[in-house]
Amino acid sequence: MDKERVRSRIEEIGIIPAVRLSSAADALFAAEAISVSGIPIVEVTMTVPGAVKVIEELARNDSEFIVGAGSIFDIDVARQCLDAGAKFLTSPGLDVEIVEFALKQESVVLPGALTPTEITAAWRSGADFVKVFPCSQLGGPTYIKALKGPFAEVRLIASGGINQQTAAEFILAGAVALGIGAELIQPDAIERREAAWIRELSRRFLRIIRQARERLQS
């Protein structure tokens, strides 16, 4: 799957589930539950033990499942993730060197940014999306709406503290997609191995996003 297709699918689906769990087995379980729920995207953070191996296994099992690498802080790790099959790279904050590396490798890149200065730098560096993080803790949807005024052309992804009650408001405010972690990948569902729970939450978030986009179009 080429870069343009990955970028298009992220915008189309509108959710990037972030897998930040305490074992590789838990991460694989979560990703597999998500993959059959209608969300063909997952971000495996580098905080997961054996994260690169998890990415490799997920990428090998399904070529249409978009596996990304999160919490990237250096180029060596970024390279390992891409070699393992990651289709996008993301980081909590802005590191222009990682953005430039991703561009050279023809990989989608989603650097984190918070302030207008950081967002400007991220977009000018060539980022495909800018992940506004932590979003809920700094005004939530109203902050995204304020940013969309001067940054109308920037593809903003809202991330941090988003739940079922606020997801629609972020889309209505102008976010092209949402990064969602524990509100989608519930720790209790992982512990009990209840894949149906994760699938149901996935369907709810997809419905919320679809309905919010329909409101924007009407």
Residues of the chain above pLDDT 90, percent: 94
- HSE-CB at 208 with a 13 A cutoff on CA atoms is 21
**Domain extents for the chain?**
3-217
Please pick, among 32, 43, 56, 57, the residue that the annotation labels catalytic.
43
104 is known as an active-site residue: no
Give the tens place of pLDDT for each residue, 140-175.
999 999 999 999 999 999 999 999 999 999 999 999
- For 133, the 3-state DSSP assignment is coil
What is the reported pLDDT for 218? 86
Give the tens place of pLDDT for each residue, 95-131.
999 999 999 999 999 999 999 999 999 999 999 999 9
Please pick, among 32, 87, 131, 169, the residue that the annotation labels catalytic.
131
The strand pair at 156-159 and 41-45 is best described as unpaired
Q: Write the CATH number of the domain with boundaries 3-217.
A: 3.20.20.70
* Mean local confidence (pLDDT), 29-56: 96
Q: What's the mean pLDDT when you consider all of the chain? A: 96
Between CA 129 and CA 3 the distance in angstroms is 13
User: Which band of pLDDT confidence, cut at 50, 70 and 90, is reported for residue 1?
Assistant: confident
The reported pTM is: 0.95
131 is known as an active-site residue: yes
Between CA 132 and CA 123 the distance in angstroms is 12
* Mean local confidence (pLDDT), 59-83: 96
N-term to C-term CA, the chain? 33
Q: Are 17 and 34 in contact (CB under 8 A)?
A: yes
